[in-house]
Structures are given as C-alpha cells and as structure tokens.
Structure 1
Amino acid sequence: MRPRVLGWCLPALMAAGVLLATARANGPPKPDHDPDVLWKIVHGRCMPNELGENTPAPCAAVDPAHGYAVLKDRDGVAQYLLIPTDRVTGMEDPAILSPNAPDYFGAAWHQVDRVLAGLGHTMPRETVALAINSQHGRSQNQLHIHVDCLAPEIRVALHWARPQIGAGWTPLTLAGHRYRATRIDGQELDGAYPFRRLAASLADPAREMGGHTLVVVGTVWPGGRPGFILLDDMVKPVSGDRASGEELQDHACKIAHFEPGRVLQTSAYPQ
C-alpha cells in the first residue's frame, strides 16, 4: 500500500503555512553524545537478533538481503529511519555510488506506510518526505534516511512550484535556504537512485557529495501523473546553511490535521 492521493486541503494548508513559515525553527539536528549510536543499534542488536532469533528488535524491520534496517526514531510521533546494515557513513561515503549499492531511497519510500500507521490514517503522497542530511548537518556517522511528514508550508510551496520543475534543476527557496529541484516520474521510487542523480550534476562527486543534502517528496504532477520532487541543497558556511534537508520535515506531523484521510482499521506495520 502506498500513500493514497486524497482530497486537497490547500486553503487550510496555506493559512497554516503563513504562520509556520514565520514561526518554524527546524535547524540542523542537535549533536548526539555518541555519533555511532545508530550503527551500534543496527549492527550490534538488530542484525544479531534478526539472524539469531528471527526478530528485528529493537528495529521495526531488518532486510539483510537488501542491506537495510528500519528503526522508529525517538524524535517525532511517526518518524522512521532507514539505515544500511553495512557500515556506510553518509553522503560522503563512496559506497553509495557503487554500481551494486542498495537502492536505499527506493526502500525508504516503501516505509511510508509505517508513518501512516503511526498516524492512524492515510494521507496523500504529497504530505510525506524522505531526507538525508549532509556530512556537516547530521549528528550520526551512519547513513540514515528520515521518513516522515512534510512541513505544511513546504507542501504549499512545492504545490505551486510543480509546473516549473522539469528534468533539469530548478532553483527554489525553501525554509530560508536555496534549494534546487528536479522531476522524477513514477508511482514508486525504485530505480530512481537520487544519489546518482545528484552525483551526475556535480563536477567532482568524490569531493562534493558530503556537502549536499537530498530530500524526496511525493507529488502528483499537473495532469495527474504520480512522481516525486528531488530537492538538493549544499553547505554554505557564510550564511550558516549546513544543508540539513530534514528541516523540510515536521516531526510533529501537523499536516496530518489538515489531511485526515481514511482511518486505518488494521495495519501491516503496528507501532
């Protein structure tokens, strides 16, 4: 089951966006006292439990064949993290661009139902985002993709920007930072490989990738075709931009109040 495209609530979202755009202060993640906590959880607990006892705890899921684990984040009402089961530090790690690298973003989109289960109802695909922070805007040294709600004001901004977003990169200002956006078509994200799309746009990916953040937002393009908006920002030391795309998400999931959707009576992903 994927996020269903239900009715729009743009008037309410626009009103909320005006307030949230001025009040929102989602900065980069706060440093954790141990930058290897996620790696220790996945490698030291989830993987051994899955392989030895056939239970992923404390993770929600472990998929050794596809190289990832899924963990409910302690921050947020419904946020999940997709984390490699191999040691992969983050955006700067050359492993993410290797030909046989797992399709981490494709797998992350398949975790959206876990977010919806945490909220208790369906929502349109335009309300959910995947985000990975730059090397300079993260707190953990193990790659992890945040799967959570999109901030209401960002949804409004992206809705109106859709007609201008195409196969190239289009500049957008979001959360006070200068992003660029490109279009991905398809109901699912499998095979889109956002890491590779970013690398193809850089002069020297080996040196530059660590300074970038990526965000993927579900959308429905004008004309009704489902797809995704891929967003990229880069570190800008002078302005204090640490390239933390997580800032476009809202871990309180306020958008769920404007997109009630259909109540989930049962779920494959109970909390």
Structure 2
Amino acid sequence: MKQGRLAMARLAGAALLASLWQASAAHAADPSALWKIVDGRCVPDEKLHARPEPCAVVDLGGGYAVLKDIRGREQYLLIPTRRLSGIEAPELLQPQAPNYFADAWQQVPLVAARVGRSLPRDDLSLAINSAYGRSQNQLHIHVDCIGVPAHAMLQAASATIGTGWTTLPPIDGTSYRAMFLPGDTLGPRDPFRLLAATLHDPGREMGRHTLVLVGAVAPRPGFILLDGEIDRLRLDFGAGERLQDHACRVAETTGSGG
C-alpha cells in the first residue's frame, strides 16, 4: 500500500513538473513568433518583391520557408507556410502532405556555408521536438550540425543499425530507437509516416515523440533516423534538438567532405 502511494506521488510530482515546464516554455517567448515572421513578413515579401526577407528562402510552391535561427552561428529552421502545430499535426499524415524532412535536408548547404567549408553528411542533422519539448506552436525542423557525443555514438553503433527499428544505448541520457535509410536523398520516405506506422494511435501518440535525422556515410550513404519518446518521470520532454550542436564543434573533429 505504501509503495502504491509512493508511486502515485511520484507520478503526480512528475505531472506537476511537466505542467510547470510547459508553462515556463510557453511564457519564455511568444509561441507564435515563428508563424508571425513567416506568414507576416517572409511570405508577403516574397510575393510582393521576390525576396524572402527576413527568411533565407521562401518556396511558395513547396510550401515552406527557411529562417536563420537567432541561436547558434549556423542553425536554420524549416517552417511550413501553412499553419501546422508541430509533429502531432494530423495534416502531416495525409496522402498529399509535403515531405518536410526531405525539403529540410536540401537546406544543409546553408549550414556548411555558415561554417565556412563543406561538411561530411554525417556531421549534419535535422530535428523536430515533441509537443512537450518545444516553445513554438508552429511546426519547425531544426537544420544544424549533430553534436559530438551523438556523432561518436552513432559511428560506434552504425554496424548494428539496420533498415528496421533498433534500440540504441542512451545518447546523452536519453533512449532512442534508430533505423537506417539508404540513399543520398530521402525520396518519398517521410520520417513522420515512418514513425506513425509503428504507433497504435498516431493521432494520440505522435506528439509524445521527437525525431532526429542524421546523415550517414557508412556502410553506405544514407541517413540514420532516431525516434525518442518523452519520459516525464525522468523529466525528459522529447527535445531531440539537444543532440544537435549550435556551435558545430563536430566540424573541428572531422575532415571536410561531401
């Protein structure tokens, strides 16, 4: 009985901390700031003047904008030009939905340009946080370098990562499962759909997950897709962005390449 009450107390404490964390994140900044920039400035400027300022890119046909984030020297954000809340948005799983991850990977040259030299594909990554690990309520994919610890761990585990989901040792204290996607580009493979296909109820469960896509060069060119899930008891709110490094220190430890 005592153990049961203790377990309930822990769950209640974790739920309270989660609520406090979400409240503090929501008040740290305007949760619609990205949407206001894209919809209120970048898209109109592209339509009226054929320039995307303050964004770096506005692709009206593709339905996305690319904005230099204020954090880090080389981090960019890919942001849809339609209103989408985040990873949990049901529109992402509709048959004709754009492949925003494929579009985001096309932007990695912007990161290399900010670093000042070409980067091997396994230095580069994309990340989207869970509904509980973000501060903005407009879908955005972080385009940046992968962190050194994650880079080293993925290199060490590359031989064990196949085309089906495999659970990895914790990275930075968080458990992820991984799968290898061969090829220079994603093509029609959409990480949102790959995740949803493994869930019992995507409508309810997608928001609990965070996805990170990392370039791979061995055993052949491709990608490693990482999926993590929130763990409130451990105060892990599903922010896969934490595996990235907005100072791109990995570029100092790897050679240049394509």
Query: How does the TM-score come out when normalised to structure 1?
Result: 0.84
Q: 1: CA distance between counterparts of 2:81 and 2:187?
A: 19
Asked if 1:251 corresponds to 2:246, the answer is yes
1:260 CA displacement = 4.9
Asked if 1:137 corresponds to 2:133, the answer is yes
What amino acid sits opposite 1:58 in the alignment? P
1:255 CA displacement = 1.1
8 A Cα contact 1:126 1:218, kept in partner: yes
- Tell me the equivalent position of 1:21: none
Q: 2: CA distance between counterparts of 1:197 and 1:63?
A: 25
Q: 2: CA distance between counterparts of 1:60 and 1:260?
A: 27
Alignment coverage as a number of residue pairs: 234
Greater CA drift, 135-144 or 184-193: 184-193
- Tell me the equivalent position of 1:46: 42
**Alpha carbon RMSD of aligned pairs, Å?**
1.6
1:220 CA displacement = 1.7
8 A Cα contact 1:121 1:260, kept in partner: no
Where does structure 2 lack aligned partners over 5 or more consecutive residues?
Answer: 1-21
Q: 2: CA distance between counterparts of 1:41 and 1:129?
A: 24
SS in 2 for 1:174: coil
1:33 CA displacement = 2.1
Q: 1: CA distance between counterparts of 2:44 and 2:119?
A: 35
- Tell me the equivalent position of 1:126: 122
Q: Which runs of 4+ in 1 moved over 4 A?
A: 28-31
Out of 204, 209, 215, which is 2:206 matched to? 209
In the TM superposition, what are the counterparts of 1:70-89 in structure 2 within 5 Å?
70-89=66-85
- Tell me the equivalent position of 2:233: 238
8 A Cα contact 1:105 1:190, kept in partner: no
Query: How does the TM-score come out when normalised to structure 2?
Result: 0.88
SS in 1 for 2:67: strand
1:259 CA displacement = 2.7
SS in 2 for 1:232: strand
* Deviation readout 1:111-160 (Å, 9 max, x if unpaired): 00000000010111111110000000001000000000111111110001
8 A Cα contact 1:211 1:234, kept in partner: yes
Q: 1: CA distance between counterparts of 2:119 and 2:232?
A: 36
Q: 2: CA distance between counterparts of 1:165 and 1:90?
A: 27
SS in 2 for 1:178: coil
- Tell me the equivalent position of 1:169: 165
Q: 1: CA distance between counterparts of 2:73 and 2:174?
A: 26
Q: 1: CA distance between counterparts of 2:31 and 2:138?
A: 8
- Tell me the equivalent position of 2:9: none
Kindly name which structure, 1 or 2, has the bigger radius of gyration based on alpha carbons: 2
Asked if 1:188 corresponds to 2:192, the answer is no
Asked if 1:59 corresponds to 2:55, the answer is yes
- Tell me the equivalent position of 1:268: none
1:30 CA displacement = 5.3
What amino acid sits opposite 1:238 in the alignment? L
Out of 189, 205, 221, which is 1:226 matched to? 221
8 A Cα contact 2:183 2:221, kept in partner: yes
1:208 CA displacement = 0.2
Write 1 or 2 for the structure with the bigger share of helix. Answer: 2
Q: Which has the higher contact order (CA 8 A, sep 6+)?
A: 1
8 A Cα contact 2:72 2:247, kept in partner: yes
8 A Cα contact 2:120 2:255, kept in partner: no
8 A Cα contact 1:152 1:255, kept in partner: yes
* Deviation readout 1:87-120 (Å, 9 max, x if unpaired): 0110111011111111100000000000000001
SS in 2 for 1:229: strand
1:257 CA displacement = 1.4
Q: 1: CA distance between counterparts of 2:106 and 2:72?
A: 19
* Deviation readout 1:52-93 (Å, 9 max, x if unpaired): 111100000100101100000000010000000000110111
